[in-house]
Chains A and B, each alone.
Chain A
Amino acid sequence: MGNIIKTLDVTDSLTGLKDVCDLENGRIAGKIFYDQEIYEQELEKVFARCWLFVAHESQIPKTGDYITTSMGEDEVIVIRQKSGGIKVFLNACPHRGNKVCFAESGSTRGFICNYHGWSFNVEGNLVGQHESGVYEDSNFDKSKWGLKEVAQVDSYKGLVFATFDANAPSLKEYLGPIAWYMDALFDNQEGGTEFVGGCIRSTYECNWKIAAENFVGDILHAGWTHDSAARAMLGGSVAKVSDFEESYSVNWNGHGYEFALDTVGNVAVLGESALNKYLHTIKPSVAERLGDFRSNMIGSVSSCTIFPNFSFLPGQNTVRIWQPRGPNKMELFTWVVVNKSAPEEVKEKWRKGAMMTFSPTGVFEMDDGENWEYCTKTAKGRVTAQQDLFVGLGMDTLLTDTPLPANVYEGQLNEANSRAFYQYWYDMLNSRSWNEVPNRNVGKQEAE
């Protein structure tokens, strides 16, 4: 198989990372958000190895349906096969490297490069070129020059992930027990979920990790950062998270989910009572499907990041990837996810609600953007970049006696998930292979 992607040689890990990422002592430094060398290591050791979200199955239902996206800074095409499977190709012609697909999505019989007319079918095979005779005269072997195919592709509950690394663990193993929590949004009704509307793209002058970490476990910022946005949408401030009787931060392999059990705290900020009502209506059937515990999470105050850069908010139903575009630049791709079985007017309210709150013009998104940009920009200062930043909340909150799966920490006002996220990032940057990545998971693989 000549079209499978070439595995990269591993470069040496950077020295001195411990000085800027020391989670045992609950501290990081701004250098990790601004340093070009660190960024280059991330592209290789995080984005070229980890499972990355690339599409939702509902975006490409039929043979030849495709979307284009990127895995790290590598542009890819995600396309449905005749067999029903999905392939992911580098969006680059194997002749001179020109981009072969310029559209964001569509349905096609293949891709033809603008440069020399190399033509590829849905399976990525090279089927011909302009002036094909001269290639035949050179004994050119077409079968070796198809689009380069990404090593592994797999789905979880409609979410399609891919990895460049043939040696990466399976998606199931990678997600671990966090998948159990993801079901609260992605598998709470028969028929599963779908994306509605298109992909909304925007850019930020911030490092991607700041955003990913915000969703992995930072609800702490909401009551302060988003106060004015909440007043605009709700006519009052956001829920006081410290008042919740029961809430958790759970993590695994750098993924994290922080959540309360209030059912509708997140959906409420969309200011659409019909959506609160919908969640209350489906809740009994969710309880039957997933149990009482997770039925309380369907739209509760909560957020999740799957390492490294896939995040979502149950309730607001925004799904996103934080695309790295240099150490101090990020491109945000967002979509709106809904239950397939939801009434059309409910889907439409979600689409509009997400636009009002978590889109480039969304009132919550704007609040976050400014903070994230300045968390990054201050690290431009050589001295500032080396100073300790505190990530030490909830150091002793691990719950050892709980029926819940994953590494479970008490309370969602807690930096346990942020530490776990940066720790996994640190571990990836320090590991030459997957075998070297330390297993820091202490919790249960499955719910009891």
Chain B
Amino acid sequence: MTPLLGLFWCDLRLSLRQGGDIGLVLGFFVLAVLMFPFGVGPEPELLGRIAAGIIWVAALLASVMSLDRLFATDYADGGLDLIALSSSPLELVVLAKGAAHWVTTGLPLTLISPVLAIFVDLDPSAIPVLTFGLLIGTPALSLLGAIAGALTLGARRPGILVSLLVLPLYLPVLIFGTGAVEASLAAEGARAHLLLLGAVTLAALPLAPLAAAAALRQALD
């Protein structure tokens, strides 16, 4: 097995086994979304208008919550030393771990989003755009999150610091993701928003591993 495949499988196995990491993230996502009908009242018009925002913000928060397991456990148990000594460059390591993170957070969130969209009265015609937007936007969340996860290694309260660092970075994803749904509701065509959303992910694909790997080197020293 190659080092990168090994890392990917190890992270996948850990999050499947460790008391259901995936279940926790999904549970948080569902509960956060379901809070809104109680908070803003059940009028379908109002809910339907903010539905995309609700789902995207809940997805961002669910993604942030699980960022600590990207590198923090490896840093604490000495595994990061062994990863740094592996035959793969750290940039590719970040990519492999980011992929595992996406498969265990972004992908399940995307798959469950159509059901939640019904709960918050999103117009059914906009659901495909929402789901497709999440599919191409959530990889950017894992990649950008890897930067914050690597930067906060060794910090005393990494959880809060990670949120402070990463949420501003998530803004473009949020804007284009919700923008696509708004445009589709207004029958303007969501293509432009989805293209920009895809561009964010494509830009993060090479840049985030570079930044995160630099932060990891800093943490190892």
Chains A and B belong together in one complex: no
Please give the residue numbers on chain A whose beta carbons come within 8 Å of chain B beta carbons, in ascending order: none
